[in-house]
Amino acid sequence: MVGRPLQDLVARLEQARLLHSPNSTVAEIQGAPTHDSRHVTPGGVFVAIPGRVHDGLSFVDDAIQNGAVAVIAERQSATAIPHILVRDARAALATAAAWWEGEPGEQLITIGVTGTDGKTTTSTFLSTALTAAGLRTGLISTAISRIGGIQRAAAAHQTTPEAPALQHALRQMVVAGDEAAVVESTSHGLQLERVGAIPFAAAIYTTFSPDHLDFHASLEEYRAAKARLVERTTGSAASRARKLPLVVVVHASDPAVQRFAEAAVAAGLQVARFDAFSDHEVLINGEKAELHLAMPGRINAANAAAALTLVTAWGLPLAPAIAAVEAEVGPPGRSELIDCGQPFKVIVDFAHTGPSLTASIAVARGLCEPNGRVLLVTGAAGERDPGRRVAVGTAATNADAIWVTDEDPRSEAPEKIAAAIQAAFFDASPRPGSTLEVVHDRHVAITAAISAARPGDVVLLAGKGHERTIERHGADEPWDEKAAARHVLKSLGYPPTL
């Protein structure tokens, strides 16, 4: 394999200082940079990140045994290997990964999509819309990826990939002939520099509400993480070659995202706005339009409008983009209908926050027949922001019958999580006649909800969506929400629709 000069990497890193060990002769890097000592390859670079639990420097010896020839770190270890000292190891990991992959971000027109809810669906719509408008666009999201027109499922419980994996995916897009890339940018991905070294050409803000406060120290820190996407909207060589304006797209009627719009204006970026007034009436870059989506609900109309707003802001053809978006079935586990010929509807949705669950119940309510009911299966994750439990319980009051079940309890007692949801539900004035039952076994809860459904009802299975495991006591239990729903429907005598 052809190596890359070590000095080139040092020059690429901000405020880097190379410390050679005695008798060191390393001049070339021949393996990809990584922060995981187990993944170091011969001739590679190990990036020692000071984590919340473990210090990366304690794994330098392991990295050397696997072939590391240099270390990037914020301080020097006693190990006899060249050290590149940097101020921020995480930022250096992103920069080193981009350097190793040949700076794919400069060769692509990259759009970051962030927000508390709606990121994955908006990202999917955007990849579809831009491709239809003549800009072949790849996608990296929590549910799916698209590279060279080939769609694949994402890894279970994936947020934004770590920088080496993300930069490698961008390189694959360049090789496959993609011109642009949509990158779902979570607050973790922004704060932990996973999307570092990507010169975004545009940013989309879907919504903003309190979340992830188990990770972020405060709401302001969470907001600041999201605001980094505006700072990173600087444009690439590819976007400059197309003379595309730098655009920040925001939800017009969400007051919480207006601070990001203000930051964009202060940075000299163009601001474009979207909205949804109903399932079909939307605002696309300030102009009212009508959409007829395959995905139901006002929330998905808003997600589609966000994507189409960027299309118009960039002056790309809108008509083919609208046609493609209207035909888009969306990512798996987002407002996904399970049809086995039953006289009621079953929806699988990833909604796991208060606002997203409220929106998902509204979608379900809109699909009910007159006098139909919304039967909800929901829960909340363990070891995550406890505020989610209160928000989920409050949102659940919009349903008619609720089964609180396990989502991803992790190391927490499921009874404690369910009790918090139940308390919030009864504190928030439930719908008259509504019921709530705690059933920890998720399959049993789904069976109960579907068995209770009558013609015209909608059963909403919320919280797991596309995910394929339930995390419990350090183990991943196999799980497939859609398969579970189909199994119950089949047991009740409903064959799948052909």
Could you tell me the CATH number of the domain that includes residue 307? 3.40.1190.10
What 3-state class would DSSP assign to 293?
coil
* CATH value at residue 415: 3.90.190.20
Q: How does residue 33 score in pLDDT terms, banded at 50, 70 and 90?
A: very high
Predicted local confidence at residue 154, as pLDDT? 84
pLDDT at residue 333 is higher than 80: yes
Classify residue 497: in a domain, yes or no.
no
What 3-state class would DSSP assign to 339?
coil
Do 361 and 485 have their domain in common? yes
Classify residue 12: in a domain, yes or no.
yes
Helices (H), 54-162: 60-65, 89-100, 104-107, 119-132
H/E element, 432: none
Q: Return d(Cα 471, Cα 339) in angstroms, integer.
A: 28
Predicted local confidence at residue 158, as pLDDT? 59
Write the single-letter amino acid at 321: A
Burial class (CB in 10 A: 0-12, 13-18, 19+), 38: exposed
Q: Return d(Cα 311, Cα 342) in angstroms, integer.
A: 39
Do 201 and 297 have their domain in common? yes
Cα distances (angstroms) measured from residue 460 to each of 312, 358, 446:
34, 12, 9
Do 369 and 299 have their domain in common? no
Do 48 and 183 have their domain in common? no
pLDDT at residue 266 is higher than 80: yes
Range of the domain at 432: 336-491
Predicted local confidence at residue 123, as pLDDT? 97
Do 434 and 453 have their domain in common? yes
Domain end (from 327, 344, 360):
327
pLDDT at residue 319 is higher than 80: yes
- When the pLDDT of each residue in the chain is averaged and rounded to a whole number, the result is 92
Domain end (from 327, 352, 379):
327
* CATH value at residue 94: 3.40.1390.10
Classify residue 458: in a domain, yes or no.
yes
Mean pLDDT over 175-201 rounds to 93
Q: Return d(Cα 131, Cα 180) in angstroms, integer.
A: 9
Do 177 and 61 have their domain in common? no
Domains contained in the chain, number: 3
Do 136 and 166 have their domain in common? yes
Locus of tokens 């926050």: 353
Spatial strand order in the sheet of 435-438: 336-337, 345-349, 458-462, 374-378, 401-404, 435-438
Do 46 and 157 have their domain in common? no
Mean pLDDT over 9-35 rounds to 83
Name the percent of the chain lying above pLDDT 70.
95
Look at phi and psi of residue 340 and say left if phi exceeds 0, alpha if psi is from -120 to 50, else beta.
Answer: alpha
Do 371 and 442 have their domain in common? yes
Classify residue 31: in a domain, yes or no.
yes
Assess contact for 387 and 381: CB atoms under 8 A. no
Mean pLDDT over 411-440 rounds to 96
Predicted local confidence at residue 216, as pLDDT? 45
Mean pLDDT over 154-172 rounds to 86
Do 87 and 217 have their domain in common? no
Classify residue 135: in a domain, yes or no.
yes
Residues 350-384 have pLDDT tens digits of 998 998 899 999 999 999 999 999 999 999 999 88
pLDDT at residue 51 is higher than 90: no
Classify residue 496: in a domain, yes or no.
no
Tokens (6 digits) for 276 = 């949804």
- Among 41-55, 60-74, 300-314, name the one with the lowest average pLDDT: 41-55
H/E element, 413: none
Do 286 and 385 have their domain in common? no
Domain end (from 268, 295, 327):
327
Do 114 and 86 have their domain in common? no
Q: How does residue 28 score in pLDDT terms, banded at 50, 70 and 90?
A: confident
For residues 117, 332, 228 and 161, what is the CA-based torsion angle, rounded to 10 degrees?
140
Classify residue 498: in a domain, yes or no.
no
What 3-state class would DSSP assign to 336?
strand
